[in-house]
Amino acid sequence: MSRRDLVAGATAAAALTALPSSGARAGSAATDAPVMAKVALTVNGQRRELELDARTSLLDAAREHLHLTGSKKGCDHGQCGACTMIVDGRRINSCLTLAVMHQGSEITTIEGLGQPGNLHPMQAAFVAHDGYQCGYCTPGQICSGVAVLAEIKAGIPSHVTADLTGAMEATPAEIRERMSGNICRCGAYSNIVEAMTEVAGRQA
């Protein structure tokens, strides 16, 4: 039995124990029939056309329909950042947006940043600095990290920027504040800051 089977088994068990309460909602089940919708978007440079239940998040569209499982589902409520993707040049929580709202969007997931043998500099820096332990939050951390350095370069201020009208720098304090939407339960934060600092230096 693989780890995935174990997880699937646990989910099925949770679904079974949840039956009584969902049974209580059976009266409204008719209104829960899926409404299907079409969407065309560009994912990692490839145009993809999908027909989805309108409820499908961008994260689920990528993972379940496009089989791009690099982006991770952590909390599914925008609190942990594991699902972070770069959409039309900006990092977002892909769990908190609907795929159907992204007609024509350009989406970059961790798979689009780099691949084994052809790593993005941020991926290579995370490896070099041990910017992870279990790795579950890492795709989100790396997508966020790439976007954070672009935000600093674009002069977007943060909560810790002393002078709102001055120049922005990728200091450790700036990196920590800007990365606060990406939680790492293993606590690899200091190594993530080092990895990002190295990439920021390289870009300067």
Binding site for another protein (CB under 8 A): 28, 31-35, 37, 53-55, 57, 76-78, 81, 84, 90-93, 96-98, 100-101, 103, 144, 147-148, 151, 154-159, 161, 164-165, 176-182
What minimum distance in Å lies between the beta carbon of 187 and another protein?
15
- In the chain, the amino acid numbered 124 is A
Smallest gap, in angstroms, from Cβ of residue 3 to another protein? 25
The nearest distance, CB 146 to another protein, in angstroms, is: 12
Minimum CB distance to another protein smaller for 84 or for 191: 84
Closer residue to another protein, CB minimum distance, 3 or 180? 180
Residue in 189, 155, 154 with CA at minimum distance from that of residue 172: 189
Q: Quick one: 32 or 130, whose CB is closer to another protein? A: 32
Nearer to another protein, 151 or 194 (CB): 151
In the complex, minimum distance from the CB of residue 95 to another protein, in angstroms, rounded to a whole number: 8
Give CA–CA dist 29/17, Å, rounded: 19
Type of residue found at 1: M
CA distance 179 to 175: 6
Find, among 34, 49, 45, 181, the residue nearest to 102 by Cα. 49
Q: Which is nearer to another protein, 34 or 135 (CB)?
A: 34
Q: Which is nearer to another protein, 25 or 202 (CB)?
A: 25
Collapsing DSSP to helix, strand or coil, 37 comes out as strand
**Minimal distance in Å, beta carbon 137 to another protein?**
13
Neighbouring C-alpha atoms within 13 Å toward the C-beta of 168: 20
Shortest Cβ 53–another protein spacing (Å): 8
Lookup: tokens for 58: 């961008």
Q: DSSP letter for 154, please.
A: T
Region label for 187, one of left (φ > 0), alpha (ψ between -120 and 50) or beta (otherwise): left
Hey, what are 106's tokens?
A: 């350009």
